[in-house]
């Protein structure tokens, strides 16, 4: 069978061994791009586009799926990327070997590193943007009660039902709250707008809610109220006296 590599190659290829390193550090996307370009530089345009589109669609699919995992998705994400990096590396081992044997050279890693840094930056920004928002939530119409892994669903439901029964949650309201627990302390996060965190007139009602929930929902355990932005980043914490 005729080799797909020109006997006097002029285009440089990336060493497939580097695909594993790039996949672990930056995700398999830079490795997939390098793999697809290697095929293209060897004249195999069909494989070039197959690998490129598979890389893009695969990355979107993995990001979507890991967002539904209740366990630490970072471990799964790293394992998947490492596995795909190994696969891409093995798939081009023969191709690269023939390229080197025919006098071919290695391609520069500036472009893959730039792509990797870009992907890492976008991913990090996305994580930081949603880091305070738990994946678990109970819906009461247009109202949403988020709860962390420190809370049992039954505990969160008890709080949500109380909000509904006491008309904090109504058919017309659109309220997002979050409940967390640290040892014996319950933390209720409320989304506020404007300058509420610096408004002293807002303190008394929040302390009243804290005492109310302590007595009626959390069996006299302490409840702290956190005033937050719309991503549940804490702006001010209020403890009942």
- The CATH number assigned to the domain holding 182 equals 3.30.300
Structure tokens belonging to residue 238: 């209020």
- Domain span including residue 115: 17-130
Q: Are residues 109 and 149 in the same domain?
A: no
- Asked if residue 1 belongs to a domain, the reply is no
184 within 8 A of 238, measured Cβ to Cβ: no
- Asked if residue 165 belongs to a domain, the reply is yes
- Asked if residue 156 belongs to a domain, the reply is yes
Q: Are residues 79 and 176 in the same domain?
A: no
Q: Are residues 168 and 66 in the same domain?
A: no
Structure tokens belonging to residue 154: 């039954």
180 within 8 A of 186, measured Cβ to Cβ: yes
Q: Are residues 35 and 125 in the same domain?
A: yes
Low-confidence ranges of the chain (pLDDT < 50): 1-6, 70-71
- Asked if residue 4 belongs to a domain, the reply is no
| Extended strands (E) in the chain | 136-140, 143-147, 176-182, 185-191, 222-228, 234-239
Question: For the chain, how many structural domains are there in total?
Answer: 2
- Asked if residue 9 belongs to a domain, the reply is no
Specify the pLDDT at position 44: 92
- Asked if residue 225 belongs to a domain, the reply is yes
Residue labelled with tokens 């979050």: 178
Choose one of 130, 149, 173: the last residue of a domain: 130
Q: Are residues 35 and 119 in the same domain?
A: yes
Q: Are residues 187 and 206 in the same domain?
A: yes
Specify the pLDDT at position 120: 79
- Asked if residue 25 belongs to a domain, the reply is yes
160 within 8 A of 145, measured Cβ to Cβ: yes
Taking the CA atoms of 65, 69, 74 and 78 in sequence, report the sign of the dihedral they define.
negative
Choose one of 115, 130, 145: the last residue of a domain: 130
Q: Are residues 97 and 151 in the same domain?
A: no
Q: Are residues 188 and 92 in the same domain?
A: no
**Cross-strand partners of 185:** 182, 222
Q: Are residues 83 and 126 in the same domain?
A: yes
Q: Are residues 103 and 144 in the same domain?
A: no
H helices of 1-72, in order, are 17-26, 28-41, 45-66
Q: Are residues 97 and 152 in the same domain?
A: no
Choose one of 130, 148, 174: the last residue of a domain: 130
Q: Are residues 124 and 223 in the same domain?
A: no
Q: Give the C-alpha separation, 103 to 80, whole Å.
A: 34
Pairing verdict, β 136-140 and 143-147: antiparallel
- Asked if residue 147 belongs to a domain, the reply is yes
């Amino acid at each position: 069978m005729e080799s797909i590599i020109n006997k006097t190659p002029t285009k440089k290829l990336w060493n497939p061994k580097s695909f594993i390193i790039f996949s672990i550090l930056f995700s398999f996307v830079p490795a997939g791009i390098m793999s697809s370009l290697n095929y293209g530089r060897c004249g195999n345009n069909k494989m070039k586009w197959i690998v490129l589109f598979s890389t893009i669609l695969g990355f979107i699919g993995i990001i979507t799926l890991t967002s539904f995992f209740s366990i630490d998705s970072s471990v799964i994400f790293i394992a998947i990327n490492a596995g795909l990096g190994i696969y891409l590396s093995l798939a081009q081992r023969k191709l690269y070997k023939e390229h080197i044997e025919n006098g071919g050279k290695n391609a520069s890693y500036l472009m893959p590193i730039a792509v990797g840094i870009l992907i890492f930056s976008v991913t990090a920004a996305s994580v930081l943007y949603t880091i305070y928002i738990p994946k678990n939530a109970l819906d009461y119409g247009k109202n949403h009660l988020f709860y962390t892994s420190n809370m049992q669903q039954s505990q969160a439901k008890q709080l949500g039902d109380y909000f509904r029964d006491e008309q904090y949650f109504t058919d017309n309201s659109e309220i997002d709250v979050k409940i967390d627990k640290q040892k014996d302390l319950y933390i209720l996060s409320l989304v506020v707008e404007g300058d509420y965190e610096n408004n002293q007139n807002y303190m008394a009602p929040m302390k009243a809610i804290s005492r109310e929930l302590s007595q009626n929902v959390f069996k006299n355990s302490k409840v702290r109220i956190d005033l937050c932005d719309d991503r549940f980043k804490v702006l001010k914490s209020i403890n009942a006296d």
